[in-house]
Amino acid sequence: MKKIIVAAIFAIGLMAGVEAAPTDVVTQADLKVLLDRLAALEAQNKAQAARIAELENHDKQMRKRVDFQRLKLAEQDKKWELQNDRLSQMAQASFAAGEGTTTNETGRIFTTAQGFKYYLADINAHIFEPLSESGLKITPYGYLVFEGVYNTHGAVCDTYTDWLYNPHSRAYGEHTSSLSMQDSILGLQFETPEAHKGWKFIGRAEFDLAGDHGNDYAFHWRHLYFDAQREADDWNIFGSERGSWSILFGQTWHLWKMVSPTEIDGAWMENTGHPYRRSPQIRVTRNWEWDDSSLNVRVGIVKNGPGMGGDRDKDLIQDNSASAWPIFEAAAVYDHDAFWQDPEDDDQKRRWLIGLGGMYGQTRIRDLNDEADKSDYDTMMVMLGGVLPFWNFTLTGQIFAGENLGGVQAGVGQTVAFNQYGYGKEVSTVGGFIDLSYQINSDWSVGIGYGFDDPTIYNDYIESDAGLSQSITHNDRAYIDAFYKVTQNFKIGVEYARLNTRYASGEGARGGNAYSDRFQFSAYYDF
């Protein structure tokens, strides 16, 4: 019995062992997989922890750099404020009463004990601007311009173009090119910063270096005048709210000049629809102002301006100066805010303009058939000009008619034509221009335009030896240009123009049309 019991226990134990063995093997394999997975996760965790530590260290360094830059900027701001405060204190101290500094009756003009004068431009910011010994504020201005020009046929000048050579001349067949700085302008503006006894004075001295060709830099006065201005305290018209008087003495634009084209040829469409001239004159101007418009009326006399009438008879006296009569000129210009713009938007303040002007005078020329005799010839013109802005476009134009206008860049340079008997006749002309410009954005703008000048010359009044311009019966040009503003003071421009000059045919003269394609590149720096 004992043996049977032992055998039974052994059998039962053997069976239990057989069933338990496979279960023990599976559990160990799973455990190994789990351990391997845990080891991998632990390695990844350590790597991630190292990366986090690295990023935290980098972030800490960046925070230190940012804090350092903030501290540096704060120190600079503090130094800047201290410097401003010091300058302000120095300014206040240097102009403080009781230390030899005196002021005028308004308290805005300071004179130090050493005699130096200053104008208090901003009393709140303590900005003092120096004045000359006489109390004038002097401001330099102008622009430097580099120009490159190419013409497919010969023009009267290689840098700027009034008209083309006769198509039958040798010069016409030659193309021309030039690089020049001639059209640069330098000047000084003088002004009294405040009125004295009701009068305020401004003045200008401006010159350029325009010569006959690209390397001919001839000193040339453009503007040289002083202008006495006074607020109007007499009668007003149509309820005007403000007004002023002005009396100008010196050389500047003729009174009838009101508008200008956008084209960049240095000739500025002279003898092609845009008369202009700067001449010595006495001018009186009355200006009325309203909130949204103004009216400017000016009258004056002009005498012996540069090239005014020229010396047609070659007697060494300017024809305009030889006459006892000056040239009388007048103009009235009215402008008004564009109706479609927002009246509260001062940044887009644009105005349309219309003006009427003209002149009358005489020139005296020695008759070619009698060197001892002289004759007086009328010089007269009437002109209508205007400007119309709409959206981003601006339309500008003018038309004029007159005779004996060679002295003001019209009539294609012609004044009086003489026939074979030596008798003269004023050359009459009609002309004008139209110009459309478009402001693409704050940097880009384009323009297109056309101008003409059409003098009427009878064949029996064409001299065979009259010189270059005396047989021209028509002059015109069409152009397109584009401008890009690189910076506030620096811009570049390109232009293409198609030019046409027509010469009359007659006894001793071969006429015909002369054409040229003109390309120009310009770079401007203004100040």
Q: Which domains does the chain have, with CATH numbers?
A: 65-134 (no CATH), 136-526 (2.40.160.10)
Does the pLDDT value for residue 33 go beyond 90? Answer: no
pLDDT of 424 reads: 80
Does the pLDDT value for residue 374 go beyond 90? Answer: no
Q: How many residues does the chain have?
A: 527
Distances (CA, A) of 236 to 286, 354, 473: 11, 21, 47
Higher pLDDT, 4 or 363: 363
Q: What is the pTM of this model?
A: 0.76
Handedness of CA 474, 480, 486, 488 (dihedral sign): positive
Is residue 305 within 8 A of residue 320, CB to CB? The reply is yes
Does the pLDDT value for residue 275 go beyond 50? Answer: yes
Measured distance CA(330)–CA(358) in Å, rounded: 6
DSSP state string for 95-126: T-TTTT-EE-TTS-EEE-TTS-EEEEEETTTT
Confidence bin at 282 (pLDDT 50/70/90):
very high
pLDDT of 19 reads: 46
Measured distance CA(496)–CA(514) in Å, rounded: 17
Confidence bin at 22 (pLDDT 50/70/90):
very low
CB contact set of 194 (below 8 Å; sequence gap of 6+): 106, 108, 109, 119, 200
